[in-house]
Amino acid sequence: MNGPFDFTLGLGDDALVAAQRLAEWTTRAPEMEEDIALANIALDQLGAARLLLTYAGELEGAGRDEDALAYLRDDREFRNALLVELPNGDFAVTMAKLFFLAAYQLPLYSALAGCADERLAAIGAKARKESAYHLDHGALWVKRLGDGTEESHRRMQSAVDEVWPYTHELFAADPAAPVDPATLRPAFDDTVGSVLAEATLTKPEGPWAPAGGRTGVHTEHLSYLLAEMQVLHRAHPGARW
């Protein structure tokens, strides 16, 4: 990534796509309380996305606002990490995705809160409080499923194995960024290691580390997600309520 614009855009896209995926659970969660919880987390991510995309538009200086960046870009123009665009899968996969993302976003936003860029610092200060709740919620379910029944343990371990390779992209070094993601890896590893141990789960090993999202090379899943997310705006350009 190159400079504050790409960095901010990537974070905004992470939050936007994560919000869209989590919203897909509305009316489909395993219990009513969880339905509401996932909807609230999705709204938190959407709120962060709006702040980040608005600022990214200002940094770009091309006249694009949050709506233009959200609804009028194709998949190759998105800079989100591959992790957030992966399909929800079963509930265990969604919890693995939520837990790993929050374990990254909490130290990220905490570091942003102390960075030199005042706008990013303000966004980080707000978002880190929400990310702390997201992390607690995801960790609770990872432990509950991992250390539950034989079937729930099997599903949670399978979900961790499936999602884990996509976490490496989150920490690609970017020394020019307001916060270098590579510096966040130790905090992430400490958090994840502790929770997986308590959940009686094994952290996967192996060299496979899919990437490309930060440069616009995505899985086939993102184009389908964007088609659903963007259809109304594109069908009625410039419409106002």
Q: For the segment 160-173, what is each residue's pLDDT rounded down to a tens digit?
A: 999 999 999 999 99
Q: What distances in angstroms separate CA 80 from CA 17, 26, 107, 196, one per listed residue?
A: 7, 22, 18, 25
Binned at pLDDT 50, 70 and 90, residue 2 comes out as low
Give residue 145's pLDDT.
98
Neighbouring C-alpha atoms within 13 Å toward the C-beta of 132: 7
Asked if the structure places residue 240 within a domain, the reply is no
Question: What CATH number does residue 212 fall under?
Answer: 1.20.1260.10
Residue 237 has pLDDT above 90, yes or no: no
Closest CA to 76 of 215, 200, 238, 182: 215
What crossing angle do the helices spanning 91-112 and 150-163 adopt, rounded to 10°?
50
For residues 99-118, average pLDDT: 98
Which pLDDT value is given to residue 238? 81
Alpha helices, H only, the chain:
3-23, 32-60, 66-71, 82-85, 91-112, 118-146, 150-163, 185-198, 220-235
What domain range is 203 assigned to? 4-235
- Based on the structure, what is the number of domains in the chain? 1
CA angle 1, 93, 125 (to 5 degrees): 50
Q: Is there a domain that residue 106 lies in?
A: yes
Among the listed residues 32, 41, 25, 170, the one whose alpha carbon sits nearest the alpha carbon of residue 87:
25
User: How high is the pLDDT of residue 117?
Assistant: 97
Cβ-based neighbour number of residue 186 at 10 Å: 11
Contact (Cβ atoms closer than 8 angstroms) between residue 138 and residue 92: no
Confidence class for position 239, pLDDT limits 50, 70, 90: confident
pLDDT of residue 122: 98
The answer on pLDDT for 241 being more than 80 is no
Q: Is residue 180 part of a domain?
A: yes
Q: The dihedral of CA 164, 195, 112, 72: what is its sign?
A: positive
241, part of any domain? no
Amino acid at 101: L
Query: Is 118 part of a structural domain of the chain?
Result: yes
How many whole angstroms separate alpha carbon 41 and alpha carbon 118? 25
Q: Taking a C-beta distance cutoff of 8 angstroms, is the pair 67, 110 a contact?
A: no
pLDDT in tens, 144-155: 999 999 999 999
Q: What is the pLDDT of residues 34-47, one digit of tens each?
A: 999 999 999 999 99
- Structure confidence by residue, pLDDT tens digits, 58-108: 999 999 999 999 999 999 999 999 999 999 999 999 999 999 999 999 999
